[in-house]
């Protein structure tokens, strides 16, 4: 069995997604907001069968691109790079098959970790994501992300 067969819920996320990230401090005030375009790809690559690239754009013209190739084993996608270390896993007890959970730490910052929940709509055309950033056991930041599917054919928009 391959990654898409082992993780059919995650496979539903394959494609290009556009949306908005909003960051809230622990008091609930918006401290950052930006647009996003994410490429979620499953590739024929033995070392990195899942590969995500995030393109961010702020209203003031700033941009950033972050690349996240991931390994796969034990029914989880695993990251270990200069930015993050962690995994994504399907939530098996979600009888509606909508939820993927991520856990990761910032590389080089062991006091900061993050849990993310991703819920995909039943029609697969939209998803929402929430992040809880925790430092030394205390909530530091929340991120709320709303996205819509642009296309499943990521290769047509890549490059």
In this prediction, what percent of the chain has a pLDDT beyond 70?
A: 99
Q: Is the pLDDT of residue 116 over 80?
A: yes
Q: Using alpha carbons, select from 156, 140, 154 the residue that is nearest to residue 42.
A: 154
- pLDDT of residue 1 exceeding 90, the answer is no
- Residue 47 near residue 71, CB atoms below 8 Å: yes
- Checking if the pLDDT of 12 tops 80, the result is yes
Please report which helix (H) or strand (E) contains residue 41, including its range: strand 30-42
Q: Could you read off the pLDDT of 16-29 as tens digits, one per residue?
A: 999 999 999 999 99
pLDDT at 105 over 90: yes
Strand 138-151 vs strand 15-25: parallel, antiparallel, or unpaired? antiparallel
Question: If you average pLDDT over residues 105-119, what whole number do you get?
Answer: 95
Mean pLDDT of the chain: 96
User: What confidence tens digit (pLDDT) does each residue in 32-89 have?
Assistant: 999 999 999 999 999 999 999 999 999 999 999 999 999 999 999 999 999 999 999 9
Q: Which fold has domain 3-154?
A: Lipocalin (2.40.128)
CA distances from 142 to 15, 20, 31, 80, 153 (A): 25, 14, 10, 23, 31
Q: For residue 113, is pLDDT > 80? A: yes
């Amino acid at each position: 069995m391959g990654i898409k067969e082992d993780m059919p819920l995650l496979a539903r996320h394959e494609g290009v997604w556009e949306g908005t990230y909003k960051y809230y401090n622990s008091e609930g005030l918006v401290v950052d907001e930006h647009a996003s375009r994410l490429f979620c790809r499953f590739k024929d690559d033995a070392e990195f069968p899942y590969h995500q690239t995030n393109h961010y754009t702020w209203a003031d013209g700033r941009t950033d691109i972050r690349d996240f190739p991931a390994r796969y084993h034990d029914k989880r996608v695993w990251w270990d790079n200069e930015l993050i270390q962690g995994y994504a896993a399907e939530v098996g007890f979600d009888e509606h098959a909508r939820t993927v959970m991520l856990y990761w730490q910032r590389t080089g910052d062991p006091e900061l970790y993050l849990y993310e929940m991703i819920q995909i709509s039943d029609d697969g055309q939209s998803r929402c994501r929430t992040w809880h950033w925790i430092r030394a056991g205390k909530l530091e930041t929340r991120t709320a992300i709303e996205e819509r599917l642009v296309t499943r054919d990521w290769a047509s928009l890549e490059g």
